[in-house]
Copies of this chain bind each other. A is one copy, B any other.
Amino acid sequence: MNSPVPQFQIDETFQAGQRRYAVILAGGSGTRLWPLSRSSMPKQLLALNGAETLMQDTIRRVGNMVDPTRVITVTHNDYRFEVMGQLHTIHPHLADGVLAEPVGRNTLPAIAWATAKIAKKQPDALIGVFSSDHAVSDPVSFQRAWAEAERAAEAGYLALFGMKPTGPATGFGYIQAAESLALHGAESVQRVARFVEKPNLSAAQSYLKEGGYYWNGGMFVFRADHFLAMLERIQPETHAALAALTGDDSKVAPLDLYQSLPNLSIDYGLLEHADKVAVVPVDMGWDDLGSWEAIYQHRDKDEDGNMKHGEVVAVNSHNNLLWSEHGHLATFGLENIAVVQTRDATLVCPRDKVAELKPLVAKVKEKCRTLTETHMTVTRPWGSYTILEEGPYYKTKRILVNPGAKLSMQMHHHRSEHWVVIAGTARIVNGENEFFLEENQSTYIPKTHRHRLENPGKVPLQIIEIQTGPYLEEDDIVRFGDIYGRT
């Protein structure tokens, strides 16, 4: 795995080696980062902290410690192809390790499913579980904490990462540490005294003053067999239901089996009832980037205190979050405002109110549902398409097909399509004919004709598609064959 993350180097007397696994939780949904996050494109799949997405950042961090064949990523079926695509660009084996939930069931079932799968091959696996949508600025500290947590896991503990507080945060749960476990090579690891819900400000301030309190970042390490034993004791029904699920080898969980699992977080379902829980204090520049304000705080600002992304011109403006995904954004005399601009929607909100976006997003959804669900660019297993414009009787798209990818053999009842290749080479099936199209060549597909688009080449294929007809929705499609199993 080609990675820019610095390598953690300590003289290890304990090496997890082939027993080290990582489970990445990538099923989260939510629209707290609307208009960038949408129900089809949650936070972990967005590039909020650099050039790659938060999930890709997570994988890079994990990638220096564990082989790609031992990384399991659990996501919702709706995000499956997007997740696989993002992982594939880092290492093809990562895409093979994607498990998809047909329905969200919170963290406990996701972790239990992945653990049971791993345990079938390696019962004493040391599994690190990581959120896919958090930021970590110091990957070496992350790696050191992981190695220390593994020693605690080997000693029978479920070992949590405890983030050293940098301020009296009220948005996170806290872990209070008790005595040291005195583990050789992991002296900082302590027993957990108690878990504390998100505190109010004065409580948070006293935790900070008192010391021994850490933010619960939802990252932990355990041994597969210890975890499953703990699950059997504390949640016997879940443990029993797992058996049927693990018996099925599919990477997409059958709906009936998965629905029978309880909707439970690992915190409420397991951690608060477990007896051997440890905390590894770590200062690794962690942030959950849970709102636009958190992103503003976490990211670099210019000399005027503006956090800028994309094409932005700010004059006499201070302490703003100015984020443009599409088009130019210009501000004058603006202070303490968050502006987030996408191809089809712009949010403008004072920074100190961006944590309360829910009623706004609900109102937007009421008015125009798609604005909260999809972007103008939609990912498909074969690549993506971007809607350039829609109008009465026509729709114009730019379609990007990845090298080697192939759309389904399909047919539409109500629309005809014109395709013009603007980059790469296409192999086309159009009715009875099969042929290649190069850049600057075109073809016309009348409605009811079977057709297929494929990129047989080594570089991305791009076409402009012009659809015409009285009905131009995505559900006017009859699939005859699809390498992604969508018929």
Residue A440 lies at the interface, judged by CB distance under 8 Å to chain B: yes
In the complex, what's the smallest C-beta–C-beta distance from A21 to chain B, in angstroms?
A: 42
Q: Which of B333, B363, B398, B423 contacts A353 (CB 8 A)?
A: B333
Q: Are B444 and A442 in contact (CB under 8 A)?
A: yes
Closest to A331 in B: B348
Residue A244 lies at the interface, judged by CB distance under 8 Å to chain B: no
Q: How many residues of A contact B (CB 8 A)?
A: 58
Q: Are A331 and B349 in contact (CB under 8 A)?
A: yes
Q: Which of B332, B439, B464 contacts A360 (CB 8 A)?
A: B332
Q: Are A388 and B388 in contact (CB under 8 A)?
A: yes
Interface of A is mostly: strand
Q: Which of B313, B329, B386, B396 contacts A363 (CB 8 A)?
A: B313
Q: Are A333 and B350 in contact (CB under 8 A)?
A: yes
Q: Are A330 and B364 in contact (CB under 8 A)?
A: yes
Q: Which of B330, B392, B418 contacts A35 (CB 8 A)?
A: B330
Give the distance in Å from the alpha carbon of A402 to the alpha carbon of B356 in the complex.
Answer: 48
Q: Which of B327, B353, B386, B422 contacts A468 (CB 8 A)?
A: B422
Residue A247 lies at the interface, judged by CB distance under 8 Å to chain B: no
Q: Are A466 and B464 in contact (CB under 8 A)?
A: yes
Tell me the chain A residues, 326-346 only, with Cβ under 8 Å from chain B.
Answer: 327-335, 337, 339, 341, 343-346
Given contacts A328-B344, A332-B356, A333-B350, 13 further A-B contacts (CB under 8 A): A311-B368, A328-B371, A329-B348, A330-B360, A331-B347, A332-B357, A339-B346, A339-B348, A341-B346, A393-B422, A393-B423, A396-B396, A396-B464
CB-CB nearest 8 A-B residue pairs: A333-B353, A394-B422, A332-B360, A328-B345, A388-B388, A332-B349, A315-B360, A440-B468
